[in-house]
Structure 1
Amino acid sequence: MDRITAAQVFVTIAERGSLTATAEQLDMSRAMVTRYLGEMEAWVGARLFHRSTRRISLSSAGEAALERCREMLALAGNIAQDGSEDMDDPRGILRIACAQSLAEASLAAATAAYLKRYPRASVFLQVADKVTNLVEERIDLAIRITNQLDPGMIARRLGECASVICAAPTYLAAHGTPQRAEDLARHNCLTYAYYGKSLWNFDRPGTTLSVPVSGNLGSNDSVVLMHAAIAGAGIAMQPVFSVAPRIARGELAVVLPDESPSPLGIHALYASREYQTATMRSMLDFLLGWFAEDENLPHLPCPA
């Protein structure tokens, strides 16, 4: 059997943590993946993985073989001309995870535009406001909005997400309008991801101000908090791209227009820089260009 392909199969199993996920990524049957793995173990003369009914992990021999196989694949990639994965013609499925707010505001449109350009590719969007385990959930690419990246993850910054403090006019009429960022500590603030204390950060000349806020409603879904704010539940910090249409319609009002919430990075996270498919590479480049265009993310309406 082809040792380059066998090495590719072995490396993909190590990165994805699953024979089934490897079969799907490489467009092979699971039986063929098992055969290639068996050939690799025969050539190495040792078991490459510890396997159980729920988990697969590298053995010590596998760890040593993995580095050699990656080097071999990198060398092969420099000299091979693989017509089936031409950068001008990406193909195959790409699984992408992202938050609902970003999917609704921009990523669904970005994906549609990408597929018009590359019609032989296909995309599955997994929409959920949670941290995704790329290997366990068989995700090729996760798009996250955060400034706190796991140092063990491979990330590419695609753009910047501006935020805005907002509330329903009914809430502000009943409870007053904060005049300074520090005033938020005395208001019912809708917190993201967990209940209790939270810090909202603001950029001021030469410094960053962190305001501890709290409230009686929290959620791990920013869209839920947006709808709660519209219903008058409290003050929310929201991505501009998510609430700009609601502000334009008068459902929400900008609070503290002279304060600047610290922006968050929009990042693409993936498991490995090595041996990426043409579909993955082209999608990363496409999204970098997409988020660089101002019109692809909604903006706040200009003040009257």
Structure 2
Amino acid sequence: MDRVIAAQVYNRICELGSLSAAARALGISRPMVSRYLEQMEKWAGTRLVHRSTRKLTLTPAGEKVLQKTRNLTRLSQEIEDHSSKETPSGTLRVACAHFTAMQLVAPMLPDFLTRFPHVRVEMDVNNHPVSLVGERIDVAIRITDNPEPGMIARRLGECRSVLCASPDYLAAHGTPDALEDLVQHNCLHYSFFAGQSWNFVNEAGEVVSMAVSGNLSASISSLLMEAAIHHCGIAMLPEWEAQTALASGKLVPVLGRFPPKPIGIFGIYQSRDYQPAAQRLFLDALGESLMAL
């Protein structure tokens, strides 16, 4: 068996703490993962892990071997990257929400695919978070303040939002002058914001959280924007998505001296030990594109 592959499998077993999870992440059978582990133990000449029905733990020898296999896979990746630097290839599975796909990823895709014609990009567009391991996703692009633990999160940029409403809504219900006035308004909010709170930066540079409520929530920001345009309430929208409606006067900014707190844009992936060149180049290209927006 290929010892480099065995080392990569061993690293993934240690990262995920389970042979079954490693098998799902690598797209191979559990018996094959067991065979690679046996190969590593035969190579090392000692037991590397304690296996039980409840958990998997490393032996002292296993801890030492893990450091060596991580170095081995890094060296293997450097060699592969050198050989594929000019023509990266393979399939890259990318997961993201609808807004992220259309507003952030779509603008950079044509140039990326032209520059790297041997890379095949598979987009999984889903407004519900997906499991990178279970869905065999290489990288997820997330707009979040709290990247999931246990994963590598590379910050690519930030998403700025704007609080806005239609002129007709404000004429009928009044324009809020202070953050506290939002409790008197119908606030159209994103479904996955915990506790239905909006975060703002006050004039002193401090983050202020305000609880909001309203008769519409959605997991797609474009739906909230359409509702705001049609006088349903006040919405917090990504600046990239709202700019056309703001420029046309269909929406107007609200509480401009209290800008919403920016949210980070991250590329989420499973491991630094083996990051294909195509994945790194995709994240590089997306980060550069976000800087230009």
TM-score (norm 1): 0.79
In structure 2, what is the equivalent of residue 253 of structure 1? 252
1:135-185 Cα distance to aligned partner (Å, 9 max, x none): 122111111112233343321111111110111233222212222222112
Aligned residues between the structures? 283
Equivalent residues in 2 for 1:185-224 (5 A)? 185-193=183-191, 198-206=196-204, 207-224=206-223
Partner of 1:126: 124
Is residue 40 from structure 1 mapped to residue 44 from structure 2 by the alignment?
no
> Which residue is 2:74 aligned to?
77
Tell me the alpha carbon deviations over residues 77-130 of structure 1, each in whole angstroms, 9 at most, x when there is no partner: 337633785233221111111121121112112222211111111111111222
Match of 1:300 in 2: none
Per the TM alignment, residue 49 of structure 1 is displaced from its structure 2 partner at its CA by 10
Q: 1:1-304 residue pairs with structure 2 within 5 A? A: 1-12=1-12, 17=21, 19=23, 21-23=25-27, 30=28, 35=32, 37-44=34-41, 59-60=56-57, 65=62, 68-69=65-66, 71-75=68-72, 77-78=74-75, 81-82=79-80, 86-193=84-191, 198-206=196-204, 207-293=206-292, 296=293
Q: Conserved in 2, the CA contact under 8 Å of 1:93 and 1:122?
A: yes
Deviation at 1:284, TM superposition (A): 2.0
Letter in 2 for 1:165: L
Offset, 1:5: 2.1
**Amino acid aligned to 2:108:** A
Conservation of the 8 A alpha-carbon contact between 2:22 and 2:33: no
Using the TM superposition, give the Cα deviation of residue 199 of structure 1 relative to its aligned residue in structure 2, in angstroms: 1.8
Segments of 4+ moved more than 4 angstroms: 12-16, 33-37, 45-52, 61-67, 194-197
Q: Tell me the percent identity.
A: 39
Distance 2:166 2:264 in 1: 27
Distance 1:21 1:151, change over 3 A: closer
TM-score of the pair, normalised by structure 2: 0.82
Cα deviation, residue 226, structure 1: 1.8
1:40 is matched by which residue type in structure 2? L
Q: CA deviation at 1:258?
A: 3.0
Residues 202-244 of structure 1: CA distance to partner in whole angstroms, max 9, x if unpaired? 2123322222211111123322222222232211001101111
Contact in 1 for aligned 2:9/2:22 (Cα 8 Å)? no
Query: In 1, Cα distance between the equivalents of 2:10 and 2:3?
Result: 10
SS, match of residue 163 in structure 2:
strand
Is this contact kept in 1: 2:24–2:133, CA < 8 A? no
Q: Secondary structure at the match of 2:69?
A: helix
The farther-off stretch of 221-230 and 65-74 is 65-74
8 Å CA contact 2:92–2:279 kept in 1: the answer is yes
* Cα 1:44/1:162, change in 2 over 3 Å: same
Gaps of 5+ in 2: none
- The answer to whether the Cα contact below 8 Å between 2:176 and 2:255 also exists between their aligned partners in 1 is yes
Task: Compute the RMSD of aligned alpha carbons.
Answer: 3.2
Q: Deviations over 1:33-72 (max 9, x none)?
A: 95575243255267979899xxxx9733699758735632
What SS does structure 1 have at the residue aligned with 2:91?
strand
The structure-2 alpha-carbon separation of the partners of 1:85 and 1:35, relative to structure 1 and needing over 3 Å to count, comes to farther
**Kindly tell me: are residues 97 and 15 of structure 1, through their superposed partners in 2, closer, same or farther at Cα, counting changes over 3 Å?**
farther
Mean alpha-carbon deviation: is it higher for 10-19 or for 276-285?
10-19
Q: Is the 8 A contact 1:165 1:237 kept in 2?
A: yes
CA contact (8 A) 2:73 2:273 kept: no
Q: Describe the SS at the equivalent of 1:291.
A: helix
Given residue 123 of structure 2, which amino acid in structure 1 is its aligned partner? L
Deviation at 1:195, TM superposition (A): 9.1
